[in-house]
Structure 1
Amino acid sequence: MDKLNHNPILQFGTSRFLQAHVDLFVSEAAAAGEALGNITIVQTTHSAQGAARVAAFRQGGYPVRIRGREHGAEVDQERRVQAVTQAWQTSTDWPQVREAAVAARVIVSNTGDTGYQLSNDDHAGLVAGDVAPASFPAKLLVLLHGRHLAGALPVTIFPCELVVDNGSVLRDVVVTLARQWQLDGAFVDYLQNGCLWINSLVDRIVSEAIEPIGAVAEPYALWAIERQAGMLLPCSHPQVVVTDDLRAYEQRKLFLLNLGHTYLAQLWQDAGSPASMTVKEAMQDAAMLAALETVWQDEVLPVFAAMGADEGVAAAAYLAQVKERFNNSFLAHRLADIAQNHGEKIRRRIAPVVALAQQLCPTLAQPHLRALLATGVQQ
């Protein structure tokens, strides 16, 4: 394990998702000479489990098991990630994390659903201290401030949290915090106009962890990155797509995959099916499959077609991949888990496609989606 902090990629988050997504991409790209370099991983929370994971990363590579269906064939293979060559924990290794942040050229993060929330325990006195702030935005602010003082060039930042416009949102949180802490104007300009905050969308089902590190994941994976002038990519990889139209990728995922999950969850509730029923089992139920196919074909794909011929073709191709993913016999994705926060998911996943249909193809009836949306309003 390399003890120096010279890795060009600094990653906040040690989740099994990142292990089987960004870290795997970089490792595979490195083998082809297409990666910026190796990765330093930072565990942002303090726990015994997190400390054990950091210790395991320091021992070397780890496995990622790819299991599922791709292009009609069953896939069951193991790959090994070798790109992670250093790991730190903010609660115990903050000085080392500070050094790593100065050396980095790219920063990646995936800090969970509450990752952008601030903490009342954070304050401006932490900027020059040896103790890490509590919240991720404050940690990032302090690290970028140290980078600025060291004269390091602005960095490219790739948030991977499942937040729309995640780069823009995180930038605004960090810049606002810098102003609240009354940090100098040159640094605020460095944050706002020097560093590049990139919006992106990640898509891969990572079904389980391999202990102490490693993961089991489906074959499908996508990292869609919104193009921005001057940005530095961590790697080039077939499953990393740089696009001028990130919204198109977001809509396909929301209206086909996420909507499909939520519609199956509603059918599962309506039928009183077993609590253990999985997405794969629902796809084998003739009535549930027929109902879902009707919604996809008659109420969703026409909306994509109304956006233009190219988008209609792209949506149909993505839907074919979604069906393979839903039929993954290795993935125990329970409908009971998908049905958590069901009412909110209905509003987030169904309402936008109904609203878009009213705008683009107002004669499209969408009876099943409208009925589901009415159900969500009542929850």
Structure 2
Amino acid sequence: MILQFGTGNFLRGFTDLFADELGIGPIVAVQSTEGDRGALLNKAGGRYHVAIQGIADGRVVDETVEVNSIARALFAASEWGQVVATALEPGLTAIVSNTTESGFALEAADTKCGPGAPMSFPAKLLAVLVARCKASLPAPWIVPCELVEGNGDRLKDLVLAQAARWELAGEIPHWIERECRWVNTLVDRIVPGPPSQHPLLGIDPLLIMAEPFALWAIETADCDFPFAGHQAVVLTPDITRYSLRKIRILNGAHTALVCRALGSGLGTVRQCLDDPEVGGWLEELLFEEVLPVLEGRCDDPARFAREVLDRFRNPFLEHRLASIALNHEAKIATRLLPTLREYRERFGHAPPRLAALLGSDS
């Protein structure tokens, strides 16, 4: 059994789909926010569809799969007792979450552990772990999917900080820190919501679209990770090899396109790739200036770059440059400038395309 905090599109097109493909679960999903998604899941018996749409290995993919891994959805505010009861299932192996970056914070209102649902996600997680520890049940995997660097370590620190606020002492904090199997993760898949056109749109209110590409990097050497058998899952002792690759190639390419093409009449990533001049320029930038500084530091950066170009050409997605341009200067600082600096240090001169793009040849 898997306890999942979150009922959103991403988890349903990622972990829940993987669980269905592996035949593991069932999953009990906890909804902590407003909305009718949990009610829709229960009405459908947990059944929904995912349209896998995009380009993989140079060919168009357009297929639909049915997902049945979610047994039921619970509402934290009104069904907290059932959430705790799920955490007390002897067969529970993992607690998965995607509460977004904003979920990684404590709430001043969580002053004590009572019978109702705590406010913050770390406090909710602590409450179910305390119950499981007191029942002398096996410690689960804690698998955050939030896009936070070092998400497992960060979440563990928040849970232990909440435990200190609740003045928990003795065995419980030790069990949480030492016995529970916290992992840092990196997730990579675009799950934007329902497809724009699909025959099931008027039939399945939970229908979502996901691109073919999927990667779930887990920082662990333990092969008994519940999702270890899935083709998208990579177990690694050092997750930075995957996060560096994603930041410099995928995210870096996005930001480079904003620098190069925003305001030129090309409004989306796909339009940029379809433009002979800009598309060719981006490919040269990746393979001649970005990849040379990543060799030996990442897992097969050339293959990943080719996959990124396929993903950017996805005819089912409209990823607007204006959206990518938010917080543009900060993104340049983390996605492009380190590549420029490392290239110059390694080869003795600045990479010409990046230098021209950023207005620097030093």
Q: Same fold (TM over 0.5)?
A: yes
1:175 to 160, 165, 173: 160
**TM-score, with normalisation over the residues of structure 1?**
0.86
Q: How many residue pairs are counted as aligned between the two chains?
A: 350
| CA apart distance, 1:367 | 4.2
Which of residues 89, 93, 97 in structure 2 aligns to 1:109?
Answer: 97
CA distance in 1 between partners of 2:185 and 2:121 (Å): 18
Tell me the residue number matched to 2:180: 195
User: How far off its partner does 1:38 sit?
Assistant: 1.4
Residue among 3, 6, 9 paired with 1:13? 6
Task: Label 1:51 to 1:108 Cα distance change in 2 as closer, same or farther (>3 A).
Answer: closer
Match of 1:70 in 2: 56
SS, match of residue 68 in structure 1 = strand
**Correspondent of 2:308 among 301, 305, 322:** 322
- 2-side partners of 1:152 and 1:367: how far apart? 59
**C-alpha contact 2:151 2:185 (8 A) present in aligned 1:** yes
| Equivalent residues of 1:70, 1:220 under 8 A apart | yes
Distance 1:76 1:84 in 2: 24
Does the aligned pair in 2 maintain the 1:299–1:364 contact within 8 Å? Answer: no
Tell me how far apart the structure 1 counterparts of residues 294 and 318 of structure 2 sit (CA, whole Å): 30
Trace 1:1-379 onto structure 2 (pairs within 5 A). 8-30=1-23, 35=24, 37-45=25-33, 47-56=34-43, 59-103=45-89, 104-124=92-112, 127=113, 129-209=114-194, 212-229=205-222, 232-234=225-227, 236-269=229-262, 271-273=263-265, 277-305=267-295, 307=296, 311=298, 314-357=300-343, 361-370=346-355
Q: Name the aligned partner's letter for residue 325 of structure 1.
A: R
Query: Which amino acid is 2:330 matched to?
Result: E
> What amino acid maps onto 2:144 in structure 1?
P
Q: Contact 1:299–1:365 (CA<8 Å) still a contact in 2? A: no
In 1, Cα distance between equivalents of 2:340 and 2:88: 47
Distance in 2 (alpha carbons) for counterparts of 1:183 and 1:373: 52
Partner AA of 1:297 in structure 2: F
AA partner of residue 273 (structure 1): G
Distance change (3 Å), C-alpha of 1:355 and 1:182: farther
Q: Could you report, residue by residue, the CA deviation over 1:154-191 in whole angstroms, capped at 9, with x for unpaired residues?
A: 11111111111111111111112212321112111011
Separation in 1 of the partners of 2:75 and 2:358? 44
Deviation at 1:297, TM superposition (A): 2.1
Secondary structure at the aligned position of 1:85 is classed as strand
Deviations 1:280-314 (A, max 9, x none): 11111222223322321222011023x37xx5x81
- Once the 2 structures are TM-superposed, how far is the Cα of residue 278 of structure 1 from its aligned partner? 1.4
Give the whole-Å Cα distance in 2 for the aligned partners of 1:184 and 1:131. Answer: 21
Q: Deviation digits for residues 326-348 of structure 1, max 9, x if unmatched? A: 11111111111111221222222
Q: 1:366 to 1:192 in 2, by over 3 A?
A: same
The one-letter code sitting in structure 1 at the alignment partner of 2:73 is A
Distance 1:28 1:350 in 2: 37
Q: For residue 136 of structure 1, what is the amino acid of its counterpart?
A: F
- Larger CA deviation: 339-348 vs 218-227: 339-348
Unaligned runs of 5+ in 2: 195-200
3-state SS of paired residue (1:153): coil
What do residues 233-287 of structure 1 show as CA deviations (whole Å, max 9, x unaligned)? 2452111111223211111111111111111112233x4426xx21111111222
Q: In angstroms, what is the RMSD of aligned CA positions?
A: 2.1
State the Cα distance separating 1:364 from its structure 2 match.
4.7
Change (3 A) 1:183 1:318: same
Which has the larger helix fraction? Answer: 1
Q: Distance in 2 between matches of 1:162 and 1:106?
A: 19
Structure 2 counterpart of 1:23, one-letter code: D
Task: Please give the alpha-carbon distance, in whole angstroms, between the structure 2 residues aligned to 1:195 and 1:314.
Answer: 32
Where does structure 1 lack aligned partners over 5 or more consecutive residues?
1-7
Pair 1:352–1:123, CA change in 2 (3 A):
farther
Deviation at 1:352, TM superposition (A): 3.5
